[in-house]
Structures are given as structure tokens and as C-alpha cells.
Amino acid sequence: MSKPKKMNLNQKQNLSGWFFLAPATAFIAMMSFFPMFKALILSFKTGIGTNMTWTGISNYVRMFQDAVFMQSLKNTFFYLIIQVPIMLILALILATMLNDRHLRCKGLFRTMIFLPCATSLVSYAIIFRSLFAVDGFVNTILIKLGFLNTGYNFLGHPMSARIIIIVALIWRWTGYNMVFYLSGLQNIEYSVYEAAKIDGASPFKIFTKITVPLLKPTILLTAIMSTNGTLQLFDESWNLTFGGPANASITMSHYIYNMSFKYVPNFGYAAAMSYLILILVAVLAFIQMKVGDKRD
């Protein structure tokens, strides 16, 4: 028999909760989910500009016959498989080292290793392009030291161009992931480590039996973020190698951009390709969560 007009305290608070989260939720619905839905429709259409007609699944079929797209798919997976594990392991090792209480200059090391993250993607891509140019710093040094007679065209050979992208990515993102691990490590009681040391556990044992299991949620988070980021690489491909030589290092997002804004715009086909990225991101995140959730 509550009074119909006056809300009770709980209802009032419940309502203010909805009020608090409404703007953010509305923006995500409008700026992520709605365009995503529109892209799905677009991916079944073909044509230029507003003059689009239904075409069924032909965009999806075309994708797998498109040599450049297949190359971009291969490149993206190459970056993913090589770069993400190296980077995450390196970040984990660095974080473990910096978590040591007896280490000196901890703050200085942390700052220096994190600093690359403060540079913009375009900036670091251009720094690396200049460093590895035919007349760039790396070649100059290699020639001075007598390893080379003339500059090696790092960005002009398919494999070395891809490796430079990986090196650049590791340089830019290791510190970023390290900060997440350092924060995670701070939540682990230091006494756990001390006890393990007293019991005579080797550093490697401590790392694999204590650090990694306790950091699992953080590792999962960084793995998903890195996978997601790598599948969407654009700036590095665009500014560091221009996707070249001859599309040998092009990424999926770069090719989608070309299809939409550089060549004669083919939004339908571009949308279909972007949906493949979406599916890949979802599948990989699902697998990572399944693996991460396993209790041993």
C-alpha cells in the first residue's frame, strides 16, 4: 500500500543511476552500434555514393579472390603472431624486474621505457622511416662500422619492411603494457615473493608459478587490447612503409581506407572487409577469454 505519487528512496536512487549512465550509453549506441548496423547493410550493397543496389554476398565472395586483400590479411596476422607475444613477454619481464624492491633508479627506468608511448603514431612511424631510410641513421652507422658498403633499402624489401613495422610496434607499445603489469603486480602482496624466496624457489619458478597466474586477468586484458589494436593497424602501414613495397606490408585497415577514400569509393566492398575484421576481433577475443578462464 505505498503512496502512488511519491517514489521510495530505492526507486529514486535507481532512477538517478539510469540518469547517470544514459548519456554515455546513448553515445555508444549512436556512434558504435548504429554505424555497425549500417555497415552490415552496406556490405550487401554495391555502387558509388548514394547510388547503391543490393548485391547479396558478392562483396564477401570478392574479398577472398582479391589478391591485395588476402595479402593484407596475411600481413596483419604476421604482425599479430610475431609482435604481440614478443611485446607482452618483454613487458612482463620488465615489469617483474621493476617491481623489485631493492632496485635503484626504478622511477627513471620506468619513465624511460614508457616514454615512447607519449609520441603520436604518426610521429614514431616517421621517426622509424627516417632511421631506416636508405640514407638514414641506421645505414650510416652500419656503413661506418664496415658492415655494409652501400645503404640497405630496409623499406624496399618485403620481409625487412614487415620486420621494421614489428620493431617499431614493439618499441612503441611495450612500455604501455608494462605499466598495466606493474599496476597489477602492486596488488600482489610482496610477502608472497619473500616467502617463495625463502623456500628456495628460482626466479623462473617464481615468475611462472606466482607472477603469471596472479596477473592472469591483467595479461588477458592486455592480450585482448593488443590483438584488437593489431587487427586495426593503420598509421604505421600508411606512414612508415606506405604499405609497400607493392602492398607487401599493407594492413587491412589501410586497404579499407584506400577502397573508401583513395580509389573510386566502393563503400559496400570496404564495409564487407571491415566486417571480416569485426568477426576476427570477436572470435579471437572469445578464444582468449576461454583460454584465460581455464583454471588449472
Partner 1 sequence: MIKLKRMGQYVFLIITSLLSIFPLVWMAISATNKSADVVKGVMMPGTYLLKNLESLMNQQNVWKAMGNSFKYAIILTIVSLIICSLAGYGFEIYHDKGKDVVMNIILLAMMVPFAATMIPLFQMFSSANLLNTTMGFILPTISTPFLIMMFRQSARSFPHDIMEAARIDGLGELAIFFKMFMPTMRSTYAAAMTITFMNAWNSYLWPKVIMTDAESITMPMLVANLKAGYTTDYGVLMLAVLLCSIPTMIVFFVLQKSFAEGITGAVK
Grid coordinates belonging to 96: 617483474
8-state DSSP, 52: E
Residue 7 DSSP class: P
Question: 88, 169 in Cβ contact below 8 A?
Answer: no
- Is 153 a residue that touches partner 1 (CB under 8 A)? no
Contact status: 128 vs partner 1 (CB under 8 A): yes
Task: Compute the distance between CA of residue 291 and CA of residue 273 in angstroms, rounded to an integer.
Answer: 27
Q: How far is the CB of 42 from partner 1 (least distance, A)?
A: 7
CB of 174 to partner 1, least distance (A): 8
Q: Which three cell numbers stand for residue 80?
A: 599479430
Question: How many other C-beta atoms are found inside a 10 Å radius of the C-beta of residue 286?
Answer: 11
Q: Point out which span in 60-68, 70-78, 132-140, 189-197 binds partner 1 (CB under 8 A).
A: 132-140
Show the CA angle centred on residue 26, arms to residues 289 and 6, nearest 5°. Answer: 110
Residue whose grid cell is 645503404: 151
Residue 114 near residue 173, CB atoms below 8 Å: no
The residue (of 1 and 87) whose beta carbon lies closer to partner 1 is 87
Q: Considering only 61-69, 76-84, 116-124, 188-196, which stretch makes contact with partner 1 by CB under 8 A?
A: 116-124
Choosing from 212, 278, 287, 291, the residue that interacts with partner 1 (CB under 8 A) is 278
C-alpha 54/C-alpha 124 separation (Å) is 42
Minimum distance of partner 1 from residue 236's CB (angstroms): 10
Which of 3, 19, 293, 294 is close enough to bind partner 1 by CB under 8 A?
19
Q: Contact letters (x/-) for partner 1, 221-240, by CB under 8 A?
A: x------x--xx-xx--xx-
Interface of this chain with partner 1, residues 154 to 193, rule: CB under 8 A: 171, 175, 179-180, 182-184, 186-187
Question: How many residues belong to the site for partner 1 (CB under 8 A)?
Answer: 93
Beta carbon nearer to partner 1, 110 or 157 = 110
Q: Compare residues 52 and 210 and give the one whose CB is closer to partner 1.
A: 52
Q: Which of 284, 287, 278, 163 is nearest to 227 (CA)?
A: 284
From 167, 161, 156, 173, select the one nearest 75 (Cα to Cα): 161
Please identify, among the stretches 53-61, 152-160, 204-212, 271-279, the one whose residues bind partner 1 according to the rule CB under 8 A.
271-279
